[in-house]
Protein backbone atom coordinates (compact mmCIF):
# COMPACT_ATOMS: atom_id res chain seq x y z
CA UNK A 1 0.00 0.00 0.00
CA UNK A 2 1.10 3.58 -0.61
CA UNK A 3 0.92 5.90 2.39
CA UNK A 4 1.08 9.68 2.11
CA UNK A 5 1.91 11.83 5.10
CA UNK A 6 1.27 15.55 5.03
CA UNK A 7 3.37 17.51 7.52
CA UNK A 8 2.40 21.13 8.11
CA UNK A 9 3.24 21.73 11.77
CA UNK A 10 6.46 23.25 13.04
CA UNK A 11 6.07 21.61 16.44
CA UNK A 12 9.03 19.23 16.97
CA UNK A 13 6.93 16.65 18.79
CA UNK A 14 4.40 16.53 15.93
CA UNK A 15 7.32 16.17 13.51
CA UNK A 16 8.63 13.34 15.68
CA UNK A 17 5.21 11.65 15.55
CA UNK A 18 5.11 11.99 11.76
CA UNK A 19 8.65 10.63 11.44
CA UNK A 20 7.97 7.59 13.62
CA UNK A 21 4.72 6.94 11.77
CA UNK A 22 6.58 7.05 8.44
CA UNK A 23 9.28 4.70 9.72
CA UNK A 24 6.69 2.30 11.09
CA UNK A 25 4.75 2.19 7.81
CA UNK A 26 8.00 1.56 5.93
CA UNK A 27 8.85 -1.27 8.34
CA UNK A 28 5.41 -2.74 7.61
CA UNK A 29 6.40 -2.92 3.95
CA UNK A 30 4.45 0.07 2.69
CA UNK A 31 5.68 2.68 0.23
CA UNK A 32 5.73 6.03 2.07
CA UNK A 33 6.00 9.62 0.99
CA UNK A 34 5.97 12.80 3.05
CA UNK A 35 4.69 16.12 1.73
CA UNK A 36 6.04 19.06 3.74
CA UNK A 37 3.98 22.24 3.71
CA UNK A 38 3.07 25.22 5.89
CA UNK A 39 5.31 26.17 8.77
CA UNK A 40 7.22 22.90 8.56
CA UNK A 41 8.90 23.95 5.30
CA UNK A 42 11.62 26.21 6.78
CA UNK A 43 12.58 23.54 9.33
CA UNK A 44 13.49 21.18 6.50
CA UNK A 45 15.66 23.90 4.96
CA UNK A 46 17.41 25.06 8.13
CA UNK A 47 17.74 21.69 9.79
CA UNK A 48 16.40 23.37 12.91
CA UNK A 49 15.19 20.83 15.43
CA UNK A 50 13.49 23.53 17.50
CA UNK A 51 14.00 24.52 21.10
CA UNK A 52 11.82 22.51 23.45
CA UNK A 53 12.31 20.75 26.80
CA UNK A 54 12.70 17.23 25.40
CA UNK A 55 15.22 18.17 22.71
CA UNK A 56 18.42 17.38 24.58
CA UNK A 57 17.20 13.96 25.70
CA UNK A 58 15.92 13.13 22.23
CA UNK A 59 19.29 14.11 20.73
CA UNK A 60 21.09 11.94 23.29
CA UNK A 61 18.90 9.00 22.28
CA UNK A 62 19.22 9.78 18.56
CA UNK A 63 15.45 10.04 18.13
CA UNK A 64 14.97 13.54 16.76
CA UNK A 65 12.54 13.83 13.86
CA UNK A 66 15.42 14.59 11.48
CA UNK A 67 17.44 11.56 12.61
CA UNK A 68 14.45 9.26 12.17
CA UNK A 69 13.73 10.64 8.70
CA UNK A 70 17.37 10.19 7.65
CA UNK A 71 17.19 6.54 8.67
CA UNK A 72 13.81 6.12 6.96
CA UNK A 73 15.28 7.48 3.72
CA UNK A 74 17.45 4.37 3.62
CA UNK A 75 14.26 2.28 3.62
CA UNK A 76 12.81 4.14 0.64
CA UNK A 77 11.04 7.14 2.15
CA UNK A 78 10.53 10.01 -0.26
CA UNK A 79 10.10 13.60 0.89
CA UNK A 80 8.60 16.39 -1.18
CA UNK A 81 8.24 20.06 -0.25
CA UNK A 82 5.31 22.23 -1.31
CA UNK A 83 6.45 24.45 -4.17
CA UNK A 84 4.08 27.30 -3.28
CA UNK A 85 5.09 27.46 0.38
CA UNK A 86 8.75 27.19 -0.61
CA UNK A 87 8.25 30.23 -2.85
CA UNK A 88 6.55 32.11 0.00
CA UNK A 89 9.66 31.53 2.12
CA UNK A 90 11.98 32.26 -0.81
CA UNK A 91 13.34 28.71 -0.91
CA UNK A 92 14.27 26.40 -3.78
CA UNK A 93 15.42 22.78 -3.93
CA UNK A 94 19.03 23.81 -3.29
CA UNK A 95 18.02 25.37 0.04
CA UNK A 96 17.05 21.97 1.43
CA UNK A 97 20.58 20.53 1.44
CA UNK A 98 21.21 21.10 5.17
CA UNK A 99 19.36 17.93 6.19
CA UNK A 100 19.81 16.37 2.74
CA UNK A 101 16.52 14.45 2.93
CA UNK A 102 14.27 16.37 0.53
CA UNK A 103 13.86 14.72 -2.86
CA UNK A 104 11.83 17.35 -4.69
CA UNK A 105 9.87 20.57 -4.56
CA UNK A 106 6.48 19.92 -6.11
CA UNK A 107 2.72 20.43 -5.85
CA UNK A 108 0.25 18.77 -3.52
CA UNK A 109 -1.57 17.55 -6.63
CA UNK A 110 1.50 15.69 -7.88
CA UNK A 111 2.12 14.23 -4.43
CA UNK A 112 -1.46 13.00 -4.07
CA UNK A 113 -1.38 11.45 -7.53
CA UNK A 114 1.35 9.17 -6.20
CA UNK A 115 0.44 8.76 -2.51
CA UNK A 116 -3.27 9.58 -2.35
CA UNK A 117 -4.38 6.02 -1.55
CA UNK A 118 -4.03 6.60 2.21
CA UNK A 119 -3.17 10.03 3.60
CA UNK A 120 -2.46 11.08 7.18
CA UNK A 121 -2.00 14.70 8.24
CA UNK A 122 0.35 15.84 11.02
Question: Which phi and psi (to 5°) does residue 11 adopt?
Answer: -80, 120
Predicted local confidence at residue 62, as pLDDT: 86
User: What confidence tens digit (pLDDT) does each residue in 45-89 have?
Assistant: 987 666 778 878 888 898 889 999 999 999 999 999 999 999 999
In this structure, of 6-15, 76-85, 105-114, the range with the lowest mean pLDDT score is 6-15
DSSP 38: G
- Give the mean pLDDT of 78-105: 95
**What is the edge-to-edge ordering of all strands in the sheet holding 78-82?**
104-106, 78-82, 31-36, 2-7, 118-121
Amino acid sequence: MKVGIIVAADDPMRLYAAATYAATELARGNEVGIFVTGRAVPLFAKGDHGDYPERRRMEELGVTWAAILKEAKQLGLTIAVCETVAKIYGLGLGDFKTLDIVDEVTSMYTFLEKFGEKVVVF
